[in-house]
A and B are shown apart, each in its own frame.
Chain A
Amino acid sequence: EAQVTQNPRYLITVTGKKLTVTCSQNMNHEYMSWYRQDPGLGLRQIYYSMNVEATDKGDVPEGYKVSRKEKRNFPLILESPSPNQTSLYFCASSRTGNGQPQHFGDGTRLSIL
């Protein structure tokens, strides 16, 4: 089954404790992306990756890091999480980055205390 898998689905942690949210896709997609969703703001793109070793900032990259060492994986790293990063996070992938529709994971709800 074609899917985008995120882990964990839920996480409560404290300020400053480094965390990683993993994302994996099994569709051999080139383009992967991370979004955060906050009430009234819709989905805002954090980082995207056109292919392995190619990452670019989205609209809200501050406080986040990503890496793309393999085509299927695109982890999101919060080196020193803060309460304003409490949000619902989605990973997505598409065949290419040129207007192809993105397939979304089921989301990760992060709470930073």
Chain B
Amino acid sequence: GQQLNQSPQSMFIQEGEDVSMNCTSSSIFNTWLWYKQDPGEGPVLLIALYKAGELTSNGRLTAQFGTTRKDSFLNISASIPSDVGIYFCAGQYYFGNEKLTFGTGTRLTIIP
């Protein structure tokens, strides 16, 4: 099955730093979703993107739907301790193929 290439796999940063991560796919998507997963819990939606080129913010988080429809980016500004967790991108084509494909995740750790 298809997997999205998500990078980096892990990040170690200091509190207050900005964070960037991205996902790329070999095929186009009509929707990109970004999720965060805390230990012992299910993923929680952060941002949903529905249009190529779209740039959407949710507080300190900003995500973009790449113009080629094959990539997406997530930025976190001024990181805080509660940002620790695993971040996943997910893409869906639908229009007859409603599978949702997830990236392999980016584990964010904040160094004291």
A interface with B by C-beta (< 8 Å): 4, 31, 33, 35, 40-45, 48, 50, 56, 58-60, 90, 92, 97-99, 101-107
Contacts and interface: CB of A to CB of B under 8 A. Distances in A.
Interface of B: 1-4, 6, 30-31, 33, 40-45, 48, 50, 88, 90, 92, 94-95, 98-105
Contact of A99 (B41, B42, B92): B92
Given A48-B99, A101-B33, A102-B100, A42 B3 contact: yes
B33 A43 contact: no
Contact of A43 (B2, B31, B43): B43
A40 B33 contact: no
Given A104-B44, A106-B42, A44 B99 contact: no
A50 B1 contact: no
A78 B90 CA distance: 26
Contacts of B41: 106-107
Given A45-B99, A59-B2, A97 B94 contact: yes
Contacts of A107: 40-42
Nearest to B105: A42
